[in-house]
Amino acid sequence: MRFNVGIDIGGTFTDLICVSSEGKTIVHKTLSTPQDSSIGFINGIREVAEMSGLSFEKFVSNIDTIVHGTTVSTNALLTLRGAKTALITTKGFRDALEMRRGIREEQFNNHYRNVTPLAPRYLRFTVDERMDSEGKVLKKFDEKELLPIIKKIKDENVESVAVCFMNSYKNANHEKKAIKFLRKNLKGIFVTASFEVLPSIRFYERVSTTVVSAFVGPIVAKYLDNLTQKLESINYKGTLLIMQSNGGVVVPDQVKKNPAVTVLSGPAAAPTAGAFYSQLLGYKNCITVDMGGTSFDAAIVIDNQCVTSTEGNINRYRIALPSLDIITIGAGGGSIGWLNSGGLLQMGPQSAGAMPGPVCYDRGGTIPACTDADLILGYLNPNFFAGGKLKLNKAKAEKSIKDELASKLGLSVLETAAGMYRIINSNMAQGVREISVERGYDPREFLFIVAGGAGSIHSSEICKELEIPMFLVPNVSSIFCAAGMLLGDLKHDYIRSYFTSFNNIDRKKFISLFNEMKDDGLNALVKEEGVAADRISFYPILDMRYLGQYHEVQMEANWDDVMKFNLENIFEAFHKEHNRQFGYSLKEEGTEMEIINVRLRVVGKTEKPKFLSGNSKNIPAEKAIKEHREIYIPELNKMKKVPIYDGDMPIFGSTIQGPCVIEKITTSILLTESYDCVVDDFGSFIVYEKEKFPKGYQLKNKKVTVNEH
Amino acid sequence: MNIDKILVSIFQRAFKSITDEMSISLTKTTRSPILCEAKDFVTGLYDAKGQMLEQTENLPILSFSLGPVCKVILEQYGSDIHEGDVIIHNDVFSMGNQNNDVAIFKPIFHQNKLVGWSAAKGHQADIGGAVQGGYNPNATEVWQEALRIPAVKLYEKGKFRKDVWNLIFANIRLQMVQEDIKAQIGACTLGERRLSAFVEKYGLEVFEAHKIALFDATEKMMRAEIKAIPNGVYKGGSTVYYDGKHKGSKFPIRTEITVRNEDITFDFSKSSPQTKGFVNGIYTSTCSAITLTFLQMINPNIPHNEGMIKPLKYIVPEGTILNASYPAATTFGNHLCPQVADAIFKALGPAVPDRITAGWNHLLCSLFTGNHPRTGKKYVDICFLGLKGGSGAMKNDDGYDHIGMIDASGGVLDQDYEMYEQQTPHRIVQHEYLCDSGGAGEWRGGLGTVTQIMLRGDDTTMVVFGDGDVETNYGLFGGKGSVLNKIELKYKNGKKLIPMSKDMIQGIPDNTLYLQIASGGGGYGNPKKRDKKKVLEDVKNEVVSKKVAEKIYGVKK
């Protein structure tokens, strides 16, 4: 029996999923080890080995692939604990990185500060070189200019160097010369240049992304080396793959070349898993939401493809590499409730975090949080939180809600808790609206997939606000990201700038740029990652706009159209996409179009694990009722005694009627008065509004089959 | 009716999400850079009486620019307002704020009853008048600046009035403006749909009652903020230099602010009479300047609805430089905001020294037009990247570097350098922080910038408008001022030209070097008290020179 293992390292827990060649799944959570997260990584493998019944050695030798999502680079950016980084740039442009085009995000807040630049001004050096806007040399670059800079870099113990020159997207020769010289003279120091990271027009985007890559580079490399060593020491002979922000996976050596590709490594797995699960149910489009302790992530999948964006920021640092489009808002189990000076109740975005956490954790927290409200409303079982590992103190939660909020609002504790629940749901619904409606998608046409420990007791109210009739809680909901890691393909994104109007476009150049990127992709996939040629496919993307517009549309094109220079088809697709996003196209007016960048995504399909479905030892749902408990029913605005189901029992194919709570060790699912649910063959829960039984679904012999949606 | 306090919170979130969504739609669909890049527009929702439910003012200077127009429309049309109407307006003599800022209003109905309005106002690339773009330094009357559009229906009961549309756009130069107005109508439709669904969901009675409760809660927040200011009458002033006509002319701005318990009155009666040129404000633009300055002094999380405005009283008499009488030219009016802010900060300084900032960089702006040699097409470029200086320091905070004038407060962004070199013929030589440009103080003023651009093309025209080249941005409580704004042309033959602060230079030859200094902000508190570590860090980063560190800050390494 062979295994594939997905490992997602989070702040508190390291999540693991192991799928065998026969489709058997083991799901496990172990404590993270933030000082050196590779320890938790190996611990996790050891514990899963035990659960599999095999010896550790035997288990390890049977693993084919480990796919890993890491937050090493994300945390470096959030805590500013990256490498000591220098920037070398063109004379006259020393400050573009720190200026951030002069933005202050909060315009009415005079206390609001700029971010700390990842390369401080005294480590930003300039050299007297210049390319013009067409890529012609205006001022020749002389390596000798680097000598005093190299000396300062050594004197200051700089650990990482980024190089970004003006207009290098047109001509990178000076950058190439510079890094060659630097690498020769700065042994042991990480050196990267913008043409390696993001060779496209827009200086600010490029310099920022390159510096981010340099800032996280040495740390990511060190982490991966350490991990590879540890895996060698346990005799692991399989493949290690790293999850990237774009939802694809790559080998560690590729990551080391451009470490910035991992800044969203963790959350990127949720929509990747979402794409897989929605396909299982016959859906092409889905929204995935993941509610954890401090934040709520929402992402979108269209036509079984995760939606990517190049508009990303982390901690206000601009990263223009293609990343999955994920909205993060400050709403989680730890979000605190507070009253503003007008006496209005607010939730978050501040969080009680994991320490001290919500009041009911009884670890010294005094400010009421979302989890405290959930407990008072009866949605959480004080004796079965995380399967009983953490006892919740209801009395303390009640007292803090009373003292901090209820007494000041003139409401009862229950009314206040219900208010907290409503407001945080409305905040999360706003996040979902942002990822869907504001991007031109109607969320009602999407399968809504709920992940994360805290999500599934809030999802029915979020859906109600957005009129989404149904949501899915996958069987692996709480370790959804780890599962997603096993489902990602090998993906490489390439970009070249080619700024021209279509009237002046050069056929040969256009095609050769794509061929160039194709060769880069084949090189990485075939030579370095050993993918068979017949598993490789190409997805060209054109950054286009109508002449005179400022914001371009990233438009997917067809590979054949690109290779055959079939512009009519490309134009047609662009008008269509523009119309979808903005409600109009200028096709009739015959407005000229221009192109800014060409991109190519090269994908090597990985072998996907098979998940086992069905179970012979099924029991009827009534047998899974473990108790009755009072919970708050939003529709009735009062408490009501309802059955509590054990969601870890084999109840495949059953229908469960709301109101009730389905408790699993890792999560709870709330069905309010107006919801029912069916458990599908994979043990996932499909929750739907009673009157609005989802179109395309049929219940046959208590089993769910799904028609093409 | 019983007020559900929780529902009030939800109303606030919902209104905000609607006006935000309207703004996102406008950013993505408009064509003119001043809309889609600089975001010079505001979107808002109003109730049936024209009271503000919420607004997203992407530039703070638009914070008071829609509400008064809504009330004008209600008065003008009375009962003649119908579902499907779309109303357009820009007229500064009926509560418009700037000629180029054109508003679209759409009434919202619930069961045949008017329940509210959605509105969007944006700065148009052209609005007719004598000069493309609307900035005409020679104007003395409104007609030389713009086409006046008092409230008029573009659609009536859903029927497009092509005749009205044609009349308006026959008087506007650029086709793009029609597209941008269509985008504004689209944003209003979005707001209309969302708000009417909201009223449908909760019912009119609940909507009305909870809306009032939201106003009341917001007003309470505002009044608590005002109450924290000691009672008194506070006076402050500033100076506007050069009206574009009379060299050396100056015009005082004077404010008298009365704080009595929970009320505050801003009285600008004693300011200079209006000027003969276009350096004149208008009521709503001045009120916006007052509002945004006050909002920067209080809790930034107060919702922007009618309750926020209620406790503020504005006295800006007609005939003054801040509210010129018909038919004066007024296009420069929005750019009097820095002087209005200066006067308010200076007045309230003694009362609330930790809430005010030292002087911000004033606008001094260039607009280039010419033919792009590579494309052969005409281009227009407002040189945003050169004009943004620093903000004033305040207690416990250094100023913000390269933020730009207070009217925008970091809302207008630099063009990207490489895009700039594609879209204009010019080449950027330098764009960097200027050493020693942040006014010295215990808290240092935000840094200004130095910009050099090699102007290419044979026949470039440059329009200059702004200020800040005579008096430095002031320091506070012992803090020092900054440098002066400056624009200079260096011709290939070695000749130099320093334009006036309102000026037009034509026929600039190829390869002329443009130099601009955007000043930093003023400092706050005695520089000798500045944390030595901070001074040394600034020296290390070469934003404060060793000489200034030693002489002004008294810090020697």
Quick one: closest CA in B to A408, which residue?
Answer: B5
**B123 strand-pairing partners:** B101
Q: How far apart are CA B548 and CA B557, in angstroms?
A: 12
> Which residue, A324, A266, A272, is CA-closest to A295?
A266
B77 to chain A nearest CA, in Å? 31
Contact yes or no for B441/B524 (Cβ under 8 A): yes
pLDDT in tens, A302-360: 988 888 888 888 889 999 998 999 888 888 888 999 998 788 899 988 888 766 889 99
CB within 8 Å of chain B, chain A residues 621-680? none
Residue B424 located in a structural domain? yes
Q: Which tens digit of pLDDT belongs to each residue from A73-128? A: 888 888 888 999 999 999 999 999 999 999 999 999 999 999 999 999 999 999 99
Q: For chain A, what percentages of helix, strand and coil (3-state, to nearest 5) are there?
A: 35, 30, 35
A573: contact with B, CB 8 A cutoff: no
A250-264, A434-448, B472-486: range with lowest mean pLDDT? A434-448
Instruction: Give residue A119's identity as a one-letter amino acid code.
Output: A
- Per-residue pLDDT, A368: 96
b/e for A279-305, b at 16 or more Cβ within 10 A?
ebbebbbbbbbbbbbbbbbbbbbeeeb
Averaged pLDDT for residues A17-32: 84
In this prediction, residue A583 carries a pLDDT of 61
What is the pLDDT at residue A614? 58
Tokens of B271: 């300011």
- Euclidean distance between CA atoms B152 and B157, whole angstroms: 13
**3 state DSSP class of B252:** strand
Closest CA to B291 of B272, B316, B271: B316
Q: Under an 8 A CB cutoff, do A342 and B421 touch? A: no
Average of per-residue pLDDT values in chain B: 94
- pLDDT tens digits, A504-534: 899 999 999 999 999 999 998 998 888 898 9
Do A102 and B8 lie within an 8 Å CB cutoff?
A: no
Q: Are A258 and A196 in contact (CB under 8 A)?
A: yes
B125 and A CB contact within 8 Å:
no
Inter-chain touch A99–B402, beta carbons under 8 Å: yes
- Tell me, yes or no, if B296 comes closer than 8 A to chain A by beta carbon: yes
Residue A701, pLDDT score: 33
Question: What value does the CA radius of gyration of chain A take, rounded to a whole number of Å?
Answer: 27
Asked whether residue B300 is domain-assigned, the answer is no
* Closest CA relative to residue B416, chosen from B438, B396, B431: B431
pLDDT at A582: 65
* Residue A434 burial (10 A CB sphere; 0-12, 13-18, 19+): middle
Q: Is A341 exposed, middle or buried (0-12, 13-18, 19+ CB in 10 A)?
A: middle
The better pLDDT of the pair A551, A8 is held by: A8
Helix axes B5-29 and B204-227, enclosed angle (nearest 10): 90
Percent of chain A predicted with pLDDT > 70: 95
Mean pLDDT to the nearest integer, A55-69: 94
**DSSP category for residue A526:** I
Tens digits of residue pLDDT in A161-213: 999 999 999 999 999 999 999 999 999 999 999 999 999 999 999 999 999 99
Residue B331 lies in a domain: no
How far B432 CA sits from the closest chain A CA (Å)?
A: 5
User: B270 and B322 in contact (C-beta within 8 Å)?
Assistant: no
Q: How many angstroms away from the CA of A581 is the closest CA of chain B?
A: 9
The angle subtended at Cα A340 by Cα A337 and Cα A342, nearest 5°, is 140
**Domain contains B41:** yes
Identify which of A562, A574, A561, A567 has the alpha carbon closest to the alpha carbon of residue A514.
Answer: A562
Give the whole-angstrom CA distance, residue A22 versus residue B350: 77
The C-alpha atoms of residue A12 and residue A386 are separated, in whole angstroms, by 13
Partner residue facing A106 (CB), from B300, B416, B452? B300
pLDDT in tens, B23-55: 988 887 787 778 887 788 999 999 999 999 999
Instruction: Look at residue B544 and tell me if it is in a domain.
Output: yes
- Averaged pLDDT, B88-95: 97
For residue B10, give the nearest of A169, A205, A422 by CB distance.
Answer: A422
- Nearest Cα of chain B lies from the Cα of A109 at a distance, in angstroms, of 6
Q: What is the mean pLDDT of chain A?
A: 89
Q: How far is A518 from chain B (nearest CA, A)?
A: 26
Q: What is the DSSP letter of A89?
A: E
Distance CA(B458)–CA(B470), nearest Å, equals 31
pLDDT at residue A619 greater than cutoff 50? yes
Whether B35 and B181 share a structural domain:
yes
Which of B179, B202, B220 delimits the end of a domain?
B220
Helix-then-strand count for chain B, H and E: 13, 20
Confirm or reject contact between A111 and chain B (CB < 8 A): yes
Residue ranges of B 26-55 with Cβ closer than 8 A to chain A: 27-29, 31, 33, 36-37
CA distance B411 to B39: 7
Q: Long-range contacts for A548-553 (Cβ within 8 Å, ≥24 apart)? A: A548/B31, A548/B176, A549/B31, A549/B36, A550/B31, A550/B33, A550/B36, A550/B37, A551/B27, A551/B28, A551/B36, A552/A596, A552/A597, A553/A577, A553/A578, A553/A581
Backbone φ and ψ for A649, nearest 5 degrees, come out as: -75, 155
A108 at B interface, C-beta within 8 A:
yes
How far from chain centre, in Å, is Cα B440? 27
Question: What is the C-alpha R_g of chain B?
Answer: 24
Q: Write down how long chain A is.
A: 709
pLDDT in tens, B188-205: 998 999 899 999 989 999
Contact pairs from chain A to chain B, CB under 8 Å: 179
Determine the pLDDT at residue A561: 94
Say whether both B196 and B50 belong to one domain. yes
Instruction: Give A257's contacts (C-beta < 8 A, 6+ positions apart).
Output: A196
196-255 of A, contacting B, C-beta below 8 A: 201-205
Whether pLDDT at B381 is above 50? yes
Q: How confident is the model at residue A615 (pLDDT cuts 50, 70, 90)?
A: low
Point out which residues pair with B57 in neighbouring strands. Answer: B42
Please tell me which residue of chain B has the smallest CA distance to A580. B29
pLDDT at residue A609 above 80? no
Residue B266 lies in a domain: no
pLDDT value at A550 more than 80: no
pLDDT for A707 equals 33
Q: Where are the alpha helices (DSSP H) in B121-236?
A: 162-169, 175-202, 204-227
Picking from A107, A327, A414 by the largest number of B CB atoms within 10 A of its own CB, the best residue to mutate is A107
Q: How far is CA A287 from CA A274, A474, B328, in A?
A: 8, 13, 55
Q: B396: nearest CA in chain A?
A: A111
CA distances, B374 to each of A473, A499, A509 (Å):
57, 13, 19
Token pair for B65? 């620019």
Would you place residue A477 in the very low, low, confident or very high pLDDT band (cuts 50, 70, 90)? Answer: confident
- Taking 50 as the threshold, does the pLDDT of residue A146 lie above it? yes
Token pair listed for B102: 């054109």
- Count Cβ neighbours within 10 Å for each residue of B335-348 and write b for 16 or more, e otherwise: bbbbbbbbbbbbbb
- Measure CB to CB from residue A166 to each of B24, B292, B417 and give the nearest one: B417
Residue A692 predicted with pLDDT over 70: no
The model's confidence at residue B64, banded by pLDDT at 50, 70 and 90, is confident
Confirm whether B122 is domain-assigned.
Answer: yes
The verdict on residue B295 lying in a domain is no
Share of chain A above pLDDT 90, in %: 57
Lowest mean pLDDT among A551-560, B86-95, B154-163, B433-442: A551-560
* Record: contact A110-B296, CB cut-off 8 A: yes
DSSP β-bridge partners for residue B487: B516
Whether the pLDDT of residue B517 is over 80: the answer is yes
| Beta carbons within 8 Å of A281's beta carbon, 6+ residues apart | A447, A472, A680, A686, A706, A709
Q: How many beta carbons lie within 10 A of that of residue A613, not counting itself? A: 12
Amino acid at site B173: R
Count CB atoms within 10 A of the CB of residue A564.
12
State the Cα–Cα distance between residues B482 and B471, nearest whole angstrom.
Answer: 9
Q: Note the pLDDT of residue A693.
A: 62
Q: Which domain holds residue B433?
A: 357-557
Cis bond upstream, residue A650 (ω within 30): no
Q: Are A480 and A603 in contact (CB under 8 A)?
A: no
pLDDT in tens, B505-516: 999 999 999 999
Query: What pLDDT score was predicted for residue A613?
Result: 61
Distance CA A524, CA A522 (A): 5
Peptide bond preceding B509: is omega within 30 degrees of 0, i.e. cis?
no
Q: If DSSP codes are grouped into helix, strand and coil, which group holds residue B197?
A: helix
Q: What does the pLDDT average to over A234-250?
A: 92
Q: How far is A438 from chain B (nearest CA, A)?
A: 6
**B 354-413 → A contacts, CB under 8 A:** 357, 385, 388, 391, 394, 396-397, 400-404, 408-413
| CA nearest neighbour of B446 among B552, B360, B385 | B360
Residue A592 banded pLDDT, cuts 50, 70, 90: confident
How far is the C-alpha of B493 from the C-alpha of B513, rounded, in Å?
11
Enumerate residues 6+ apart whose C-beta is below 8 A from B193.
none
How confident is the model over B482-493, as a mean pLDDT?
97
Domains of chain A: 3-76+222-262 (3.30.420.40), 81-212 (3.40.50), 286-331+425-485 (3.30.420.40), 335-423 (no CATH), 490-604 (3.30.1490), 621-706 (no CATH)
CB contact under 8 A, A96 and B412: no
Tell me, what's the pLDDT at A698?
A: 47
End position of a domain, from candidates B195, B220, B245? B220
Subunit contact A203:B21, Cβ cutoff 8 A: no
User: Would you list the DSSP string of A364-427?
Assistant: S--S-BHHHHHHHTT-S-TT-BGGGTB---HHHHHHHHIIIIIHHHT--HHHHHHHHHHHHHHH
Is the pLDDT confidence value at A694 over 60? no
Average pLDDT over residues A271-280: 87
- Give buried/exposed letters for A202-227 (b at 16+ CB in 10 A, else e): bbbbbbbbbbbbbbbbbbbbebbeeb
Give the span between the Cα atoms of A664 and A475, in whole angstroms. 10
Structure tokens at A516: 């160039």
* Count of domains forming chain B: 2
Of B194, B220, B246, the position where a domain reaches its end is B220
Counting Cβ atoms within 10 Å, is residue A233 exposed (0-12), middle (13-18) or buried (19+)?
exposed
The reply to whether omega before A349 is within 30° of 0 (cis) is yes
